[in-house]
Structure formats: C-alpha cells, structure tokens
C-alpha cells in the first residue's frame, strides 16, 4: 500500500477562541452565524478544520482585518 494521508486533529472551540483572543461563547456564536469557515458539528460537539481556519486567519491578517 502507498502512503496514506495523515488527517490532522481538528481545532476545538477553545483552541479557536485562544487563536482569536475571544471567549468560547463568542466562537460558538460566530460558528452558528457562519462567520468562521471550516466548522462542523457532530451532535453538540463543534470542531474546526485546521487548514481552513489557519488559511482564513492568515488572509485576515494579510488584509489587516485582525
């Protein structure tokens, strides 16, 4: 078999809150408003795709959107 792609563990709500410098509740609000890309929900559990969030943050910083 060939090399298998390694799937990175997704960010937790707490990790995204730490990256954004905001509260967990604010991340939940932004997620439900569709303002943070790469989020998905399994029952009550919210997670975020690392590569999508990292690219989104990099673009915001590049554009000066902080």
CA atoms within 13 A on the CB side of 31: 24
Per-residue burial over 43-65, b = 16 or more CB atoms within 10 Å of its CB, e = otherwise = eeebbbbbebbeebbeeeeeeee
Mean pLDDT, the chain, as a whole number? 92
pLDDT of 55 > 90? The answer is yes
pLDDT in tens, 12-21: 999 999 999 9
Q: Is residue 46 part of a domain?
A: yes
Q: Is residue 4 part of a domain?
A: no
What value does the mean pLDDT take over residues 52-60?
Answer: 95
**Number of domains observed in the structure of the chain:** 1
Q: Is residue 16 part of a domain?
A: yes
Q: Is residue 27 part of a domain?
A: yes
By CB neighbour count within 10 A (0-12 exposed, 13-18 middle, 19+ buried), where does 36 fall?
A: buried
**Boundaries of domain holding 22:** 11-62
pLDDT at 7: 79
């Amino acid at each position: 078999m060939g090399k298998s792609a390694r799937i990175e563990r997704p960010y937790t709500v707490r990790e995204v809150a730490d990256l954004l410098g905001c509260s967990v509740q604010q991340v939940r609000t932004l997620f439900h408003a569709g303002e943070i890309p790469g989020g998905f929900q399994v029952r009550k559990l919210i997670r975020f795709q690392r590569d999508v969030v990292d690219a989104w943050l990099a673009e915001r910083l590049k554009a000066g959107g902080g």
